[in-house]
Structure 1
Amino acid sequence: MSRKIAREELFKILFEAELNDASIAEVSERVISRGEVELSKNSKDFIEKYVKGIVEKKDEIEETLNSEMTNWSLDRIGNVERALLKFGTYELMFEDMGHEIVVNEIVELAKKYGDEKSHEFINGVLAKIIKK
């Protein structure tokens, strides 16, 4: 399974947690144990590492996002956008991954799952975080 598919599964976990106001760790455990998507060991490790990191860095991620979203706050945006922004912000701030790769993958997920202009909004917010 490619990293791209693992990212999409991680997004779905984050989205479900946002939608149901549930624990990301619990949703992740439930999704992985259901086995609806066959995940390689590397994909499971990737998801588990990112879930743990997003949970541990939640306050810092949310503070960064709220400071970089002009005229918006996390509680005013949709669940898709919130999940993708948390994911992208975590990866930009705490993982050793090229900015272009992160932004491209997150924007592609926004195009697939978000509203018509979601990808533009997300791209703009992530660009501000990169500049910071």
Structure 2
Amino acid sequence: MSRKTAREEFFKLLFEAELNEVDATEVLEDFISRDDFKLSKAGQEFLERYANGVTENKAEIQRTIDENMTGWTLDRIGNVERTLLKFATYELLKEDVGYEIVINEIVELAKKYGEEKSHEFINGVLAKIVNK
């Protein structure tokens, strides 16, 4: 299992949590138990660590995003964009992953799942976060 695959699965988990307006930890067990779920033990551990991390650092993540968006708030942007920004911000703030990798993979997910210009918006917000 690649880290890229695990990131895409975490995006799906976090997206589901956003749609249901619950914490990522609340959908984790059900998400992992689904028949179509095919991540290794390491992949499951990745999802658990990230779900717990996003949940535990929710206020800091939201504050960081809000401080780096101009003319927008999290409740005014789409679910895909909000989910990707929360995911990337958590990873930038709390995980030991190079910012280039984080931004590249999140932008790729935005191109796949978001609107036509989503990746540009997300890239801009994340660039501001990194530059601070």
Q: Same fold (TM over 0.5)?
A: yes
Is 1:98 equivalent to 2:67 in the alignment? Answer: no
1:29, distance to aligned residue in structure 2 (A)? 1.3
Structure 2 counterpart of 1:58, which letter?
K
Q: Which residue of 2 aligns with 1:108?
A: 108
1:9 is matched by which residue type in structure 2?
Answer: E
Greater displacement, 107-116 / 32-41: 32-41
CA distance in 2, matches of 1:23, 1:49: 13
Gaps of 5+ in 1: none
Which residue of 2 is the match for residue 58 of structure 1? 58
Where does 1:1-132 land on structure 2 (aligned, <5 Å)?
1-132=1-132
Distance 2:106 2:10 in 1: 11
- Which whole-Å CA distance do the structure 1 matches of 2:26 and 2:64 have between them? 25
Corresponding pairs, count:
132
Distance 1:5 1:37 in 2: 11
**TM-score when normalising by structure 2:** 0.97
Q: Show structure 1 runs of 4+ deviating over 4 A.
A: none
User: 1:28: Cα distance to partner?
Assistant: 1.6
Q: Mind listing any 5+ residue stretches in structure 2 that lack a counterpart?
A: none
